[in-house]
């Protein structure tokens, strides 16, 4: 049976008995339509008027309800021990204890200074572990992958933490029942998803990273000041969909080229001539703009925000470009009336990118970049290495290596390729880094296989393989 959502639903369920491929973008996220069905077959949905709906007020009340938890359940010590067993590596510790560089036989491995699990990811996974510990007999759902790493997501599946099923691009919240537990992933959840869960009176376990929430706060400030949010991100990415749902008017730009197009339109073709008509503009960004977007009216005042896992330097350059464009259009003295910007770049993403820029300057023969193939921050680490001209192999697990001297990997733009004879003969130096969602154990296994291959093919020291095999 469908349950209607009215604006009076700013109430938040507080009943104490409640304890217990690729993402497809939904265009025009501003228009909120929520599935609140009592069964998985019903298709009823009730729209919420976006002009009257206060997403910030709703989120504020939701986070203060008895059915909401963001801090864990007091099982931190035991769940961290479980995570150590699942994800840590003696080999990575060996590298860290030796200045992030170690030589085994004729193979030298250099590990980036900053890599792998960030604080927000570790916290998200740890709280998901706590949820299973706290609710051993409850059905637990998660609205998206907890993080973009197949090893971690598989482990959660083994713990019977299930993904909300998706049909034809829509999440089927009808499978969720009163009394279930629902985990919000590190990337957060869109407003319409929070509304649906609130209406169902379930226990919400929120693992949203604080840096992601910071972006939400930024776009809410844009909305309050009647600025259009120019979001640097990928419109189909969970971490962009969520802040867009909190924004008022928005446009999502993927890179500097798209930002130049927008700014050229603002300047009526006087920037670089890349833009065209209003109709062409709307067609180009049809999946990346809010409902009713009018570039002639909605780009008069603009604020910058970003998907936190984008390239730091590119986000900064886009912000500077928009600011210069506004100055040129309206005059330097009026810039504050037409442009606003808050720093929403994630420190962990920045640190991993800075470490990668440093690593590619060193003498490495090839680079192994480890991270989920749908991980935005990992794709940018790959981009840094590729742009430097270093043979670079982005893999999501050690299973992509072999058989033989072969590797299946992705390039910076997402193309999946297979490379033969990727390991050259002779002494070699391998650079290794990983995205913020990658555990040490996956990094370790990704190093072990090349070293074992060297023993088989080139008869290097037997001790190399014995050392690594002892930790398998």
Q: How far apart are CA 390 and CA 366, in angstroms?
A: 6
Q: What tokens appear for 74 in the block?
A: 């007091």
Sheet arrangement for strand 140-142: 68-69, 203-206, 181-184, 140-142, 161-163
In the numeric block, which tokens belong to residue 315?
A: 């986000």
Q: Which residue has the tokens 């931190």?
A: 76
Instruction: Give how far Cα 315 sits from Cα of 195, 346, 377, Å.
Output: 31, 11, 13
**Three-class secondary structure of residue 294 per DSSP:** coil
Q: Rounded to whole angstroms, how far apart are CA atoms 61 and 39?
A: 27
> Looking at the chain, how many residues does it have?
472
Tokens of residue 84, six digits: 């150590």
Question: Hey, which residues are catalytic here?
Answer: 239
Dmax over CA atoms of the chain, in Å, equals: 73
Sign of the torsion angle spanned by Cα atoms 332, 333, 337, 342: positive
Other Cβ atoms closer than 10 A to 256: 16
């Amino acid at each position: 049976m469908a349950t209607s959502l009215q604006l009076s639903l700013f109430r938040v369920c507080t009943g104490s008995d409640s304890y217990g491929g690729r993402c497809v973008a939904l265009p025009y996220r501003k228009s909120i339509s929520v599935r609140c069905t009592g069964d998985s077959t019903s298709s009823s949905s009730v729209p919420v008027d976006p002009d009257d709906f206060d997403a910030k007020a709703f989120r504020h009340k939701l986070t203060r309800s008895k059915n909401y938890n963001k801090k864990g359940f007091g099982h931190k010590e035991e769940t961290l021990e479980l995570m150590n067993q699942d994800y840590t590596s003696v080999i990575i510790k060996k590298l860290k204890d030796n200045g992030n560089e170690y030589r085994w036989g004729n193979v030298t491995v250099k590990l980036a200074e900053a890599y792998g699990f960030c604080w927000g990811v570790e916290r998200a996974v740890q709280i998901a572990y706590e949820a299973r510990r706290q609710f051993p007999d409850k059905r637990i759902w998660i609205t998206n992958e907890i993080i973009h790493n197949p090893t971690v997501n598989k482990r959660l599946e083994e713990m019977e933490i299930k993904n909300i099923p998706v049909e034809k691009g829509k999440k089927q919240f009808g499978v969720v029942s009163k009394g279930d537990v629902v985990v919000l992933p590190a990337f957060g959840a869109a407003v319409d998803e929070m509304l649906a869960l609130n209406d169902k009176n379930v226990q919400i376990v929120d693992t949203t990273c604080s840096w992601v929430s910071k972006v939400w706060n930024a776009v809410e400030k844009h909305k309050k000041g009647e600025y259009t949010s120019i979001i640097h991100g990928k419109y189909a990415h969970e971490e962009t969909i969520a802040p867009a749902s909190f924004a008022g008017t928005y446009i999502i730009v993927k890179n500097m080229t798209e930002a130049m197009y927008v700014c050229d339109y603002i300047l009526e073709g006087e920037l670089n001539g890349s833009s065209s008509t209003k109709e062409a503009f709307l067609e180009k960004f049809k999946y990346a703009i809010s409902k009713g977007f009018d570039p002639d009216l909605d780009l008069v005042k603009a604020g910058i925000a970003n998907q936190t896992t984008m390239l730091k330097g590119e986000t900064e350059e886009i912000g500077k470009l928009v600011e210069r464009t506004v100055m040129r259009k309206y005059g330097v003295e009026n810039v504050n009336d037409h442009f606003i910007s808050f720093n929403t770049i994630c420190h962990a993403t920045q640190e991993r990118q800075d470490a990668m820029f440093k690593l590619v300057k060193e003498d490495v023969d090839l680079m192994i970049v480890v991270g989920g193939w749908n991980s935005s921050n990992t794709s940018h680490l790959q981009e840094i290495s590729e742009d430097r001209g270093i043979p670079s192999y982005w893999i999501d697990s050690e299973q992509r290596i072999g058989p033989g001297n072969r590797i299946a990997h992705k390039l910076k733009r997402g193309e999946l390729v297979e490379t033969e004879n990727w390991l050259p003969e002779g002494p070699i130096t391998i650079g290794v880094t990983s995205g913020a969602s990658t555990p040490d154990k996956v990094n370790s296994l990704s190093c072990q296989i090349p070293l074992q291959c060297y023993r088989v093919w080139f008869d290097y020291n037997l001790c190399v393989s014995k050392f690594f095999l002892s930790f398998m």
